[in-house]
Amino acid sequence: MANDPIHQFQISKWIPIEIGGYDFSFTNSSAFMVATAVVAGAFLFLTTSSRGIVPGRLQSVAEMSYEFVANMLRDAAGTQGMRFFPFVFSLFMFVLVANLIGLFPYFFTVTSHIIVTFALAILVIGTVIIYGFMKHGFGFLKLFVPQGVPGILVPLVVLIEVISFLSRPISLSVRLFANMLAGHITLKVFAGFVTSLTALGAAGVAGSILPLGMAVAITALEFLVAFLQAYVFAVLTCMYLNDAIHPGH
Amino acid sequence: MFVTSAYAQEAQPAEGESHAPAGETHAAPADAQAGETHTETGIEHGGGAFPPFDPSNYPSQLLWLAITFGLFYLFLKKVIVPRIGGILEVRHDRIAQDLDQAARMKEDADAAVAAYEQELAEARANANTIGQTARDSAKADAEVERKKVEAELDGKMAEAEKRIGGIKSKAMAEVSNIAEETATAIVQQLTGTKVDKPTVAAAVKAVRN
């Protein structure tokens, strides 16, 4: 059953912990969350430790990721949005590194679990709602009433806006989760074809070339997806934060 | 193809079980642990549900996500962001400073060029005036010299003319004497009479005039 494509998403307990009837065990998923945080943090910390005026290659990578996210946030939410920069930067780096680590064979992909992506999405939307009400009070509700809409259409538009707002955490989390899940299942299925076909003898070995090529191509595609999904997650976060900062459309 | 069909057979019961009542959640830890040791035998033992949708994993996932992401966020906020921001700012300042310095140096260079050109123009003007004065004084000197020489020559010429005049009048006087003596002699020869000198002189004078 080594070919089972779902097996890679299985959670196994490394250190069982149970508090108040809930299972808080340290699992392989927890280990990879720690690994994600440590790898991303250590990369950013070590590459910038020389504080070179003229950056080396790795320092440029760290600075590029910083400026990439900073520009993204500034474009979407203006300079006022820069107060959320550490939040967006850590979201982007965490998701990106989690996606990339998951691409190593036998490694667990943290972002392939809906609960993880949903928690991150709720964190974003929760930040938007709390900051929006703190900053604008009930004026934040203007978000749901676009200006310049004829009076008769207002109830309909408000309904649509509310539904669209409520679906944001779902779309944000499902997009990332489904991309990671589907990509890894596809990879595993093609890799499974290769091993199964080679077991059939010479004809099978010849036939396995096609799925092998596909597996290689999909691996490349998955690297793109890993970056792209982290980027999309960060961009949408910036846009939602912009709603919290400037609720009037 | 047979891989997917084999998977489909296993997945079907698993999908069916995912709708199991939530009461199963508390029993899950022991079950899942059993699943861990037998993962090689298939997912029908591994907690029963499709792993990403298995609610028994949620508390642990959420707790560890909160811990790791929270620490990661704090680390970035307290250490990384100020550090990279500082690096970028220092570089930005440094570049601005260097540009300023370059602009200042360019200004200095321009000023130096302007000063040089002005000096050059002054020197050229000076040279012109010096040449002009030299030329003028030389001309004046030459003029004075010329006048002096001319005056000298004029004096000499006047003297010479005076001398010539003297010699000429002396010669003319001699001419009267000679004419009188000659006339006297001729008359004496012709007439044989001696003519007195004043008569001859008067006659000569009357002829010459």
Measured in residues, chain B has a length of 209
The answer to whether the Cβ–Cβ distance between B53 and A114 falls below 8 Å is yes
Interface ipTM: 0.90
Give chain A positions within 8 Å (CB) of B43: 4, 6-7, 10
What are the strands, taking DSSP E only, across A20-98? 22-23, 26-27
Give residue A148's region: left, alpha or beta (phi > 0; psi -120 to 50).
left
**pLDDT at residue A110 in the model:** 92
Question: In which band, very low, low, confident or very high, does the pLDDT at B35 lie, cut at 50, 70 and 90?
Answer: very low
* Residue A70 near residue A82 (C-beta atoms within 8 A): yes
Rg, chain A, Cα only: 22
Q: Does the pLDDT at position B32 exceed 60?
A: no
Distance in angstroms (rounded) separating the CA atoms of residues A143 and A125: 14
Output the six-digit token pair for B151: 């005056």
- The values of phi and psi at residue A15, to 5°, are -130, 105
Give chain A positions within 8 Å (CB) of B91: 53
Q: What SS3 class is residue A65?
A: helix
* Residue A93 near residue B68 (C-beta atoms within 8 A): no
Give how far the C-alpha of residue B38 lies from the chain's centroid of Cα atoms, to the nearest Å. 83
- What percent of chain A is modeled with pLDDT above 90? 59
Q: Does B27 touch chain A (CB under 8 A)?
A: no
Q: Does the pLDDT at position B24 exceed 80?
A: no
The answer to whether the Cβ–Cβ distance between B43 and A16 falls below 8 Å is no
**pLDDT at residue B42 in the model:** 40
Q: Does B196 touch chain A (CB under 8 A)?
A: no
A223-236 confidence digits (pLDDT tens): 999 999 999 999 99
B85/B24: higher pLDDT: B85
* Residue B52 near residue A113 (C-beta atoms within 8 A): yes
Q: Does the pLDDT at position B27 exceed 90?
A: no
Q: Does B86 touch chain A (CB under 8 A)?
A: yes
B168: CB partners within 8 A, 6+ apart: none
* Residue A113 near residue A177 (C-beta atoms within 8 A): yes
Of A169-183, A185-199, B131-145, least confident by mean pLDDT is A185-199
Of A104-108, A182-186, B25-29, B63-67, least confident by mean pLDDT is B25-29
Q: What number of other Cβ atoms are within 10 A of residue B93's Cβ?
A: 10
Q: Give the one of B35, B51, B64 whose C-beta lies nearest to A33's C-beta.
A: B64
Q: Which residue of B has its CA nearest to A44?
A: B80
Q: Does B26 touch chain A (CB under 8 A)?
A: yes
Distance in angstroms (rounded) separating the CA atoms of residues A234 and A242: 12
Cβ burial, residue A2 (10 Å; 0-12/13-18/19+): exposed
Q: Does the pLDDT at position B112 exceed 50?
A: yes
The answer to whether the Cβ–Cβ distance between A86 and B73 falls below 8 Å is yes
Cβ burial, residue B46 (10 Å; 0-12/13-18/19+): buried
Distance in angstroms (rounded) separating the CA atoms of residues B169 and B166: 5
Mean of the per-residue pLDDT values of chain A: 90
Could you give the residue ranges of the DSSP H alpha helices within chain B? 2-17, 28-37, 58-75, 81-191, 197-208
Q: Give the one of A33, A51, A181 whose C-beta lies nearest to B52's C-beta.
A: A181
Distance in angstroms (rounded) separating the CA atoms of residues A64 and B107: 35
**pLDDT at residue B2 in the model:** 43
**pLDDT at residue A97 in the model:** 95
A163: CB partners within 8 A, 6+ apart: none
Of A83-92, B33-42, B52-61, B180-189, least confident by mean pLDDT is B33-42
**pLDDT at residue B8 in the model:** 43
Rg, chain B, Cα only: 71
Angle at A171 between CA A166 and CA A174, to 5 degrees: 135
What are the strands, taking DSSP E only, across chain A? 13-15, 18-19, 22-23, 26-27
A242/B3: higher pLDDT: A242
Give how far the C-alpha of residue A121 lies from the chain's centroid of Cα atoms, to the nearest Å. 9
Q: Which of A37-51, A196-210, B110-124 has the highest mean pLDDT?
A: B110-124
B73: CB partners within 8 A, 6+ apart: A86, A87, A90
One-letter amino acid of A105: P
Question: In which band, very low, low, confident or very high, does the pLDDT at B15 lie, cut at 50, 70 and 90?
Answer: very low
Q: Does the pLDDT at position B79 exceed 80?
A: yes
Of A213-217, B36-40, B83-87, least confident by mean pLDDT is B36-40
**Residue B89 C-alpha, separation from nearest chain A C-alpha, in angstroms:** 10
Sign of CA dihedral A201, A104, A69, A46: negative
- What percent of chain B is modeled with pLDDT above 90? 51
